[in-house]
Structure 1
Amino acid sequence: MESKHQFGMNGFCRLLNNPLIQTYLPGSCKKIGFYQELLILFWKFCDRNKKFLYYVLKSSEILDIIIPILYFLNDSRTDSSKIGLMHIGIFILLLLSGERNFGVRLNKPYVTRLPMNLPIFTGTHADLLIIVFHKIIVSANQRLQPLYDCLLTIIVNISPYLKSLSMVSSNKLIHLLEAFSTPWFLFAAPDNHNLLFFLLEAFNNLIQYQFDGNANLIYSIIRKRQVFFSLSTLPTDAQTIAKYGTKSNNSILSLKSSSNILEQKQNIFETNSISNTDDESTVNREVIQQSTIETINNPMITSLAETPSIHKMTERTLAASPNFNSNQHQQSDINNQTSSPLIQSVSSTVVSHNGSNSNQNHLLDSNIWLPTSTWIQSWKGKLPLQTILRLLQVLVPQVEKICMDRGLTDESEIIKFLQHGTLVGLLPVPHPILIRKYQPNSGTIMWFRTYMWGVIYLRNVDPPIWYDTDVKLFEIQRVIEQD
């Protein structure tokens, strides 16, 4: 049976990596164009055959599946005709991230250099995943916003197992937190604060379970400590809320009336948190030409079913705490007793669109939502900031002192100091690891059915075998080219 699984795994790896093959002789390697069908088939294999899924997760070749998926996600993030491809790729990563071995495998160094428009970095496959996810979010494609929860859930699931993040990926995470923690963004929609909870949970996992190897992230947190201080003092008075709420609504209205929506939505992410290491690499011209040709050859797209909320797609389970640092886990009994309220607070605060928090929503009219003081107070007190604020309370004075005593101005020297530091006994008791595993539901079943038949339809437009048929599963739309 295992040989059959290996045969299937080898086939998926070989075909999914086909578009990534680079040769010196043009046309010497025939490129396939059915990677959407491959991803659908791979999803069906993993969803229907749990033995195959477990084989994939324990196989060292799982990275040969992840790399092409990340390549497709990065290449398709601004192409409106590939929204379905973005969904299926992210759903596959969400399914895999529910298992510990997925996060552990991501610690393998990333040495392959693919033609992707990404910052140059030296790190692991986890760094690649975080950088690609950051790129997807800052691309500000409005149709990808329902996937933000999925992207951050994947990061949360793998965060307890990431041994060492690079400076580039650390800055990307801080950048996302900085963007999502601004009052005008938090007050713009009733569910925006959920993204903040996911990011803070990921930071807590990295600090509590992987502090020793993540000096780059700790340094980034210290450098941007004001972001966390501002969160702890987030205003809840009606006057300030009204001021930010008005700004948010004006921004939304201007976005709706603007002809250049993409540029204005990217203003969310225009902060100074990007370091000098974030220089963009040059784009491979063949990739651009191939993407343009595919868009021209496929001028039609099919509509997709509504993306289910992350709370309907996943179920929360407790993972066994990794024994990375035995000194941090001496009080396991106290750990379980102390952390249960934390999990309950996170679970009760991160609610779906139809959750209890929606009762606090105030509508100015049918399209504009206004925040209230009661609504903000319902989740502000549950922000998991205790671990991070305690870390800053301990390390910031130490870093400032060593900088003054030794006259340090180079960040590499500060990072070396942090690498030899320890917070054993100083941080709150480590919380249990909360994993959100994918669970089949009617929403995702309907989405996959619509997407699969949409791909089949578009692949068979010429000859017109669908002519004079009554298709009611989806709508056909023309792709509008963007300059």
Structure 2
Amino acid sequence: MYQPPVDLSTSPNKWIEYLSSGDNRHALPMFTSLLNTVCAYDPVGLGLPYNHLIFSDTLEPLVDAALQILIVTLDHDTSHGDESLLQTGTHENLFINYLSRIHRDEDFGFVLRGFTRLLNNPLVQTYLPNSTKKVQFHQELLVFFWKMCDYNKKFLYYVLKSSDVLEILVPILYHLNDSRADQSRVGLMHIGVFIILLLSGERNFGVRLNKPYTATIPMDIPVFTGTHADLLITVFHKIITTGHQRLQPLFDCLLTILVNVSPYLKTLSMVASTKLLHLLEAFSTPWFLFSSPTNHHLVFFLLEIFNNIIQYQFDGNSNLVYTIIRKRQVFHSLASLPSDYGAIAKSLTKRGHKHLPTGQTEHVETPSMEGSKPALPAEPGTLKATLPDTPGIEKMTGQESAHMSVDLDELTGQVTLNGSEPPPQQQSQTQHPKETPSQSNTPKSPSQNSNSAGRWVPTSDWVNSWKGKLPLQTIMRLLQVLVPQVEKICIDKGLTDESEILKFLQHGTLVGLLPVPHPILIRKYQANAGTTTWFRTYMWGVIYLRNVDPPIWYDTDVKLFEIQRV
């Protein structure tokens, strides 16, 4: 066994050098054998209850080893750009070459069925407890699925055009929800979110989320009747509000995913609508906004989600519209956010227990929700050196217009709001296509530059630099039109029932009353050196920990971890 170097261009991976080098005539049979072994494996077999307790499964260790060898040999260095995609050092990686050239639908179907069967296996519930065999290599499967989608775009598109993509999404959401409070599974949280971010960059994924969801997997989330989009929002809300504080770097990714799919969500349940408004309410409190130089980015993402749904899917989203009207004070408070020094200082002294953590050193308790277990604070030194930091969302994504027939510059140049200039986020997107709106909207304040080594000190100039760019026009126009109508019908008809108000909103329209629809912008994942290093470290960490019994690393030179006493 071999520890991979940080820079594969100077010292090629020996696994790849031997198994997938150009002069190895066994490379193709080896690759196809490994792929067939993994994707054809059915741990349930004939489906007889408790058969795995009576008969030993000799195939599982083979599949385990085949899967680990596959993900190791498909490792490569992306720091030199796209031209090195099929190269590792000076040797051609035939495994990546073969994987990228798979193109037949029947082959894609075979691979996808293997993924869905194995990813859903641990989630299968029967009337007889523990009656079916459960495999434990879901982390390796997720790494392999990521590599399959990354190296073979035709496979990614095949997955997205099939409703089977939801059979991949549901087990990922299950693992995310189940792992959110366990700091030993922070790597699993990251790869699950990265995969969904990759999928969300394609329109078909957002469209597929409208398929009704039938709860068949036990998850500690509120019961709802709705779609897979409702499930996605509910699980993400759970991660943000009850996950441990080391997950905060993922908040931008989670909200970016919701922004990407929001223009295609035809109808949200009341549960999901309430969750979205709760996130905005929590993130828009002055204390939270002023306590970090980047927290306001989350508000920009959430407002973009609301704007996309209102502008493109208003007719079917009466639940969300009703929730916005009911929580309208959140938007009014955001529009009138104080920016004077006294108000900033006063807000920072009101550090309550109901706010979300800000990522600072001390831990802020958040109340557990819907009966879930509260997250435990991180112990000093725990897992600190296990995985490298993931890059910011602006380095992981690049923006694309969803209107592929029209140039992005033309679209952003045409958009106006009530005769004014184009909104700031669209101006900045034209000039800086690889930045997120929230970041491109936010110039650095003097205090941020000069005091970066010390404690963050917000200033009035800093607040005013982004406050005026909050995209509130669409929502404020909606409230201006609908709130008087709802109040009038409630008074005239004496309505107090929520369902009657929802019926009224279902038949309402805002055609011609809202600002000109903004262009749909999708933030697609882009390969970068940061995530490549992260995946490599995570992959070897998983392999190391999955092979400690028997102790194959004992008395070897493999040293992936260092234990430090605290």
TM-score, normalised to structure 2's length? Answer: 0.72
Bigger Cα displacement from structure 2, 401-410 vs 106-115: 106-115
Aligned counterpart in structure 2 of residue 382 of structure 1, from 460, 469, 482: 469
Q: Secondary structure at the match of 1:24?
A: coil
> Would you say 1:232 and 2:335 are equivalent positions?
yes
Q: Does the 8 A contact of 1:118 with 1:132 survive in 2?
A: yes
Distance 1:98 1:205 in 2: 15
Q: Does the 8 A contact of 2:148 with 2:155 survive in 1?
A: yes
Bigger Cα displacement from structure 2, 150-159 vs 235-244: 235-244
> Would you say 1:343 and 2:426 are equivalent positions?
yes
Distance 1:2 1:254 in 2: 45
Q: Report the number of matched residues.
A: 439
> Would you say 1:107 and 2:204 are equivalent positions?
no
Change (3 A) 1:254 1:205: closer
Corresponding residue for residue 432 of structure 1: 519
Change (3 A) 1:60 1:140: closer
Which protein has greater RCO, CA pairs closer than 8 Å, 6+ apart?
1
Distance 1:450 1:112 in 2: 35
Distance 1:248 1:36 in 2: 38
Bigger Cα displacement from structure 2, 137-146 vs 168-177: 137-146
Change (3 A) 1:43 1:477: farther
**Structure 1 segments unaligned to the other structure (5+ residues):** 271-277, 284-298, 323-331
Q: Which has the larger radius of gyration?
A: 2
Corresponding residue for residue 63 of structure 2: none
Corresponding residue for residue 181 of structure 1: 284
Aligned counterpart in structure 1 of residue 138 of structure 2, from 35, 52, 73: 35
Q: Secondary structure at the match of 2:226?
A: coil
Q: CA deviation at 1:140?
A: 4.1
Write out per-residue CA displacement over residues 276-332 of structure 1, whole angstroms, 9 at most, x where no aligned residue: xx965x99xxxxxxxxxxxxxxx999711101100000001111299xxxxxxxxx9
> Would you say 1:317 and 2:415 are equivalent positions?
no
Select the structure that is richer in helix. Answer: 1
**Structure 2 segments unaligned to the other structure (5+ residues):** 1-103, 374-381, 417-421, 430-434
Distance 1:211 1:65 in 2: 29
Q: Secondary structure at the match of 2:348?
A: helix
Percent sequence identity is 66
Bigger Cα displacement from structure 2, 359-368 vs 152-161: 359-368
Write out per-residue CA displacement over residues 49-95 of structure 1, whole angstroms, 9 at most, x where no aligned residue: 11111111111211111111111111111111111001000000000
Q: Which amino acid aligns with 1:80?
A: Q
Write out per-residue CA displacement over residues 137-181 of structure 1, whole angstroms, 9 at most, x where no aligned residue: 001411100000000000000000000000000000000000000
Q: Which amino acid aligns with 2:155?
A: F
Change (3 A) 1:312 1:472: farther
Aligned counterpart in structure 1 of residue 294 of structure 2, from 191, 194, 198: 191
> Would you say 1:167 and 2:270 are equivalent positions?
yes
Change (3 A) 1:71 1:333: closer
TM-score, normalised to structure 1's length? Answer: 0.84
Change (3 A) 1:188 1:237: same
> Would you say 1:404 and 2:491 are equivalent positions?
yes
Q: Does the 8 A contact of 2:428 with 2:440 survive in 1?
A: no
Q: CA deviation at 1:124?
A: 0.3
> Would you say 1:423 and 2:506 are equivalent positions?
no
Q: Does the 8 A contact of 1:188 with 1:249 survive in 2?
A: no
Bigger Cα displacement from structure 2, 456-465 vs 8-17: 456-465
Corresponding residue for residue 164 of structure 2: 61
Aligned counterpart in structure 1 of residue 448 of structure 2, from 361, 368, 376: 361
Write out per-residue CA displacement over residues 231-259 of structure 1, whole angstroms, 9 at most, x where no aligned residue: 101111111112223445999899856xx
Write out per-residue CA displacement over residues 333-392 of structure 1, whole angstroms, 9 at most, x where no aligned residue: 798343575413475752289x85265417779442110111111111110000000000
Q: CA deviation at 1:469?
A: 4.8
Q: Which amino acid aligns with 1:369?
A: W
Q: Which amino acid aligns with 2:519?
A: P
Q: Which amino acid aligns with 1:145?
A: Q
